[in-house]
Amino acid sequence: MPDQRRRRLASLAARLGEEKIDGLILTSLSNIRYLTGFSGSSALLLVTPAEARLITDFRYETQVADEVGDIARVRIEPVSLWVGLWALLRKMQSIEVLGFESAHLIHRDFQRLLSDGSRWQWRPQLDLVEHLRESKDEDEVALISEAARIATSALASVLPRIRVGLTELQVAGVLEKALRDEGSEDAPFPPIVASGPRSALPHARPSSRTIQRGDLLLLDFGAQHRGYCSDITRTFVVGMPTAEQRDVYAIVRDANHIASASVRPGMTGKAADALARSYIERQGYGDGFGHSLGHGLGLEVHEAPRLARTVEAALRQGVVVTIEPGIYRPGWGGVRIEDDVHLSANGPQMLTNFSRELIEVA
């Protein structure tokens, strides 16, 4: 990855001139990881057209050397990252105007810029690195694919272990163990395990509810591999499905199929969302699909772009997005089927390979 990182830093450096800033202070750990490879939890990064300087603390002395190599000069700062930054900047004569990440700096730290950093001029910046991160290169797609493989393999091993009488929390535990056994280095978000009427809550947390015959059972979770995330949802039925469960499931499955086969670079986020939404509406379930179709995926499990009714921006080639239509009926339950799709030059490429048919469990 060092070559990609050098290219990314060069692309960012080129943007600095356009924004009329002499340098950019980065506080987003995901953006810092993207540019330098550093995966620790404490860092500031300064990027100028000439160089990148990374500041971290003593806990990461060994790790930062391994991960960053000569992409950035590293400073291990004993007092605080900000003290280290001021010391660095004071030695750099040519820097007068600096950008900072408006979406990743809390107000308290913004006040530091205006007090301790008052000798420089500060310009808020939005999405400079996020924009670079949208299109994934081949290596990144391979890492997301591996995260998707971990997730689908874990799911395959969990299915035979689901039993009537287990709680949602217990199923979450079985799933988390399976993810670790397959090599997931972290959970991109706490898994959702929602059964029966709780499957109608799009953001349910696992509860002590026990799984019962006749339930819909919704699992929404991800895996992480070298920082990159996957995100998948499948909905099962416990025992035999009712006609209504079958019907709703089939509509969501077909909406997923239509959208994931038809989504293309160049489409607006709104048009992509409509691929699934208009189908669900035609089937009479439009009111039941209350959220948007999907979101970008990479070093973060929610990143640009968004596939939603309000988004006029076009999807760029190379993005990896979730396609996750759902139908929710309060008191009855919900069905969501979510896949990760790479919008390649050759059309949409499915990264989450797992059956989309209705599976009976327990």
Q: Pick between residue 173 and residue 265 the one whose CB is nearest to a copy of itself.
A: 173
Q: Pick between residue 29 and residue 263 the one whose CB is nearest to a copy of itself.
A: 29
Nearest to 185 by CA among 228, 141, 133, 142: 228
Return the ∠ at Cα 81 (arms to 76 and 82), rounded to 5°: 140
Q: How far is the CB of 174 from a copy of itself (least distance, A)?
A: 6
Q: How far is the CB of 65 from a copy of itself (least distance, A)?
A: 13
Q: How far is the CB of 349 from a copy of itself (least distance, A)?
A: 27
Q: List contacts with a copy of itself (CB under 8 A).
A: 40-41, 58-60, 62-63, 100, 102-108, 110-111, 124, 126, 169-170, 172-174, 176-181, 183-187, 190, 201-203, 205-208, 290-291, 330
Q: Pick between residue 21 and residue 341 the one whose CB is nearest to a copy of itself.
A: 21
CB 351 within 8 A of CB 144: yes
β-strands 232-238, 360-361: how paired? parallel
End-to-end distance of the chain based on CA atoms, in angstroms?
Answer: 44
Burial of residue 244 (CB within 10 Å: 0-12, 13-18, 19+) is: exposed
Q: Pick between residue 155 and residue 341 the one whose CB is nearest to a copy of itself.
A: 155
Q: How far is the CB of 262 from a copy of itself (least distance, A)?
A: 27
Q: How far is the CB of 40 from a copy of itself (least distance, A)?
A: 8
Q: Pick between residue 187 and residue 258 the one whose CB is nearest to a copy of itself.
A: 187
Q: Pick between residue 94 and residue 160 the one whose CB is nearest to a copy of itself.
A: 160
Please provide residue 162's backbone torsions phi and psi, each rounded to the nearest 5 degrees.
-80, 130
CB 277 within 8 A of CB 294: no
Q: How far is the CB of 318 from a copy of itself (least distance, A)?
A: 26
CB 306 within 8 A of CB 321: no
